[in-house]
Chains A and B, each alone.
Chain A
Amino acid sequence: QLQLQESGPGLVKPSETLSLTCIVSGGSISGINYYWGWVRQPPGKGLEWIGCIYFTGTTYYNPSLKSRVTISVATSKSHFSLKLNSVTAADTAVYYCARHGVSWGFDPWGQGTLVTVSS
């Protein structure tokens, strides 16, 4: 059974870079037709798609975050990562990683990790 688990610091200072890793277990990160994505949810608010990566390394980003986001994949290590630079308090959110297809929906999801941006 495929499982995803986010890891990374829970506190980041303003203007610094948020870095998270999603560890994939129980399946291959190299499967065709799947994208490995990041979704965030500010406290009390809705879901926002951040971006995703295909195992070949091709990336797609939310236009509103594109200038600050980098997603990378390490297929040999079965994990993919998110970097969001120049963070502000508005980037405080629960960050989820998830597998998704073009049409197949987001499933499974990681449990989510709260990242707070504060000095």
Chain B
Amino acid sequence: QSALTQPASVSGSPGQSITISCTGTSSDVGGYNYVSWYQQHPGKAPKLLIYEVSNRPSGVSNRFSGSQSGNTAFLIISGLQAEDEAVYYCNSYTSSTTWLFGGGTRLTVL
């Protein structure tokens, strides 16, 4: 069971938008609308940003949005702010009734 594929790093300037991809297979990402995204700051527990591909929990900024095309899911962060600098992880339910994380993407705000 290999981790979902994410870019190791992305960067952007304040105010810009960035997109992080998360690629899996038809047995996980592509088979269900069950992708979630997490933000993790150093030394902290991950925080849920998006669930079911594009739904935001209460309290999460609407600058965070999600989408999916085939076996790839996307996290879009608009209006980048310094506080968005963190590591982002995707997760998907799989056909084996397991859950699979991506390798993580480090976001640098320039």
Q: CB-nearest residue of chain B relative to A102?
A: B93
Tell me if A103 and B46 are in contact (CB < 8 A): no
Q: How many CB-defined contacts (below 8 Å) exist between A and B?
A: 67
Tell me if A63 and B96 are in contact (CB < 8 A): yes
Which of A49, A63, A102, A105 has the largest count of B CB atoms less than 10 A from its CB?
A105
* Chain B residue total in the interface (Cβ 8 A): 28
Tell me if B101 and A49 are in contact (CB < 8 A): yes
* Chain A residue total in the interface (Cβ 8 A): 24
Interface string of A79-118 (1 = CB under 8 A from B): 0000000000000000010001011111101111000000
Tell me if B1 and A100 are in contact (CB < 8 A): no
Set of chain B residues within 8 Å of A46, measured between Cβ atoms = 3, 89, 101-104
Footprint of A on B, CB under 8 Å?
Answer: 1, 3, 32-34, 36, 38, 40, 45-48, 50-52, 57, 89, 91, 93, 96-104
Footprint of B on A, CB under 8 Å?
Answer: 37, 39, 46-49, 52, 60-64, 96, 100, 102-107, 109-112
7 A-B pairs (CB sep. < 8 Å): A49-B100, A61-B98, A96-B46, A103-B34, A105-B36, A106-B48, A107-B48
